[in-house]
Chain A
Amino acid sequence: MFVGKSMTRKVITIDKDANVLTAKDKIEKFRIRHLPVVEEGNRLIGIVTDRDIRSAYPSSLLNNGDREEEVKKLSAIKVRDIMTPHPVTVSPSCTIQDVLLLMQQKYVGAFPVVDEKGLLKGIISIRDLIRAFITVLGIEEPGTLLCILVEEKVGQLKKIVDAITEEKISFGSVLVARHWEKGKRAVFPYLLTVNVGHVKRKLKNMGYTLLDPMEWYMDQLPKT
C-alpha cells in the first residue's frame, strides 16, 4: 500500500517557461487534469491544473473573432504565471492511507510524488487510488460477497476465516464494519467462488446471522 507502488511513474510534466497553449494541448492530448511544473533536472516547482488553464482562457461565450484575438495573447503567458507554486507533495514511501486522508483534508485531486531531493518521481491521483482500491477489494476477480453479523468480542473473525478456509475457498478481501449496531460488527468476506450455498449454511449453523446485503447497502446511501 505504498505510494511508490501505486503512483503513475510516467508523469506528463511541463516546463515552467512553456506557454499556456502548450499546457492546454498536453492536458487534452493525455486526458489528464494535473501537470507538474518542473525546471532543470526534473525538480518540481509547481503544479498547473486544468482549472488553472480554463481560468486563464477567454470565455467560450465570446464571439469568434474576439476570442481568437484573446487566445493569441495567451502565447505570451507562461505556465509559471498561472501555476500553484510549492504544491503539497508526498514521498514514495507514504502509504495509500496517508494519501486518502490528505486528499480529504486538502481538497485536491492529485499529489506530485517527490524524493528527498525534491526531484519528481511520479504522481498519485484519484484515478490511481481507484485502481489501488479495486485491487484491494479484489472485485476484478469473480466472486461473491457475504455479509455476516457478529458479536463484538475477541476471536470472531478467526472463526469465520477458519470456517471459510476449511471449505477451500479463497478470499478476495475481507472488510469489517466496526460500528454496525450496538455490540455488533459486520464482516464482509468477498469469496472467489460461485459456490457459497454450503458455506452460508455452515456459518448459520455456527450461530452467525447472515445479513441481507441490501441493509448494508441502503445504509451507505445518503440519508434524505
Chain B
Amino acid sequence: MKRTGFLWDKRYLLHDTGPYHPESPKRLQAIYQGIEAGNLLPHLRLIQASRADLNWIQQVHSKKYIQRFEEACRSGQTIFDSLDNPIGPVTFEIALLAVGGILDTTRLVMEGQIDNAFCAVRPPGHHAEKNRAMGFCYFNNVAIAARYIQNQWDVHKVGIVDFDVHHGNGTQHIFEEDPSVFYYSIHQHPSFAYPGTGREFEKGIGAGYGFTLNSPVLPGQGDADYHRLMERDLFPAFKTFKPEVILVSVGFDGHVDDDMSDIQLSTSGFSWIQSKIVEMAESYSKGRLISILEGGYSLERLPDLAKNHVEILLNS
C-alpha cells in the first residue's frame, strides 16, 4: 500500500459562497464523509493546512491582483471580478490556506515522505488567471504548485492533467508559452460549456507550442469517449514528454448525475481515468502524483467518487 497524503482542513469550509451557490462547503464535507465511511482515514497521512507564503503565489499572480483580492475581502465586498465569484471577509485567508496546504503536501511528496496525495481544498483554482478571478476560482492552486516544484527541487518537467469538466483556462494561459509544463485538459466542448476555451486547435504558443493539449468532449458523451480521447491524445503525449511529477486537477463535475455539465461519465469511468493517470505516474514520475480538487457538485456522488479516487492512490 502506498503512503498517500490527504489534505483536508475544517477551515476550508469557512469560505462562504451563500445559500444557492454550487461551490458550497458541503462538497468538502461529502468528500470527507465518503473517505471516512470507506474506512480509509487510518491508512492516510492526514495533512492540515498552513498559510502560504505570498512569494509563491507571486510566481503565478501579479502583486497587484493579490492586493486587490485581499482588499476586496477585507473591505466587505461580496463579489470579486465576476458574479460567479462571491467573497466574504475570510475568503482571502482561506484561499491562502488552500495554496499553503497544497504546497506543504507537495513538499512531503517531493521529499519522499509520502508517495502521492489528494488535496481536498476550497476554493478551487484552475479558472483563475494571472490577474482575474473566474469560475469560483481565486488563486490558481495547481499552477502555483507546479512553479513551487520547479523552484525548490531539481525538477524541470511537470505534467498537469485536468479532467474537470470545464477547461482550465487559467492553467493553460499561465503555461502556454512554457515548454517545461505540459498542460493536458479533457472537458466538455467549449462551444457548449464554460469558459469557452480549450479548443482542439489551442496547442500552446511560441516555445510552448506542443506542450498544451486539449480534448473537447461533446455533450452527451461519456466513458467510452474519454477512453478514446485519452488514449489518442494524453497517453502518447506523456510518453514523449515524460513528466517528472504529475499534478492532477480533479473535477468530478463530468459525472452523469452532476447538473453542471452535459457529460455522462459514470462513477467507474472516473476510476478508469484516475487509474490511467496513476499508471503514467508510475512509469514516468516515480509515482509522484498530487491530486488537487477543482469542481464536482453532486453531493450524492461526491462521497463515492472521492473514496474511489483515494483508494486508487493507496493501491497504486
Contact = CB atoms under 8 A, between A and B. Distances in A.
Contacts of A144: 192-194
Interface residue tally of chain B, by bracket? 20 to 34
A217 B191 CA distance: 10
B218 A142 contact: no
Binding site secondary structure of chain B:
loop
Contacts of B262: 212-213
Contacts of A198: 20, 22
Contacts of B195: 142-143, 194
A159 interface: no
A5 interface: no
A200 B259 contact: yes
Contacts of B259: 197, 200-201
> Would you call the interface of chain A mostly helix, strand, loop, or mixed?
loop
Contacts of A160: none
Contacts of A192: 82
Interface in B155-203: 166, 169, 191-197
A8 B39 CA distance: 66
A170 interface: yes
Interface residues of A, number: 23
Contact of A197 (B196, B218, B220, B297): B297
B83 A168 contact: yes
B219 A213 contact: yes
B20 A194 contact: no
Interface string B117-134: 000000000010000001
A197 B169 contact: no
B83 A170 contact: yes
A77 interface: no
Given A144-B194, A194-B166, 8 more contacts: A142-B169, A145-B191, A193-B194, A196-B260, A197-B259, A197-B297, A212-B219, A214-B219
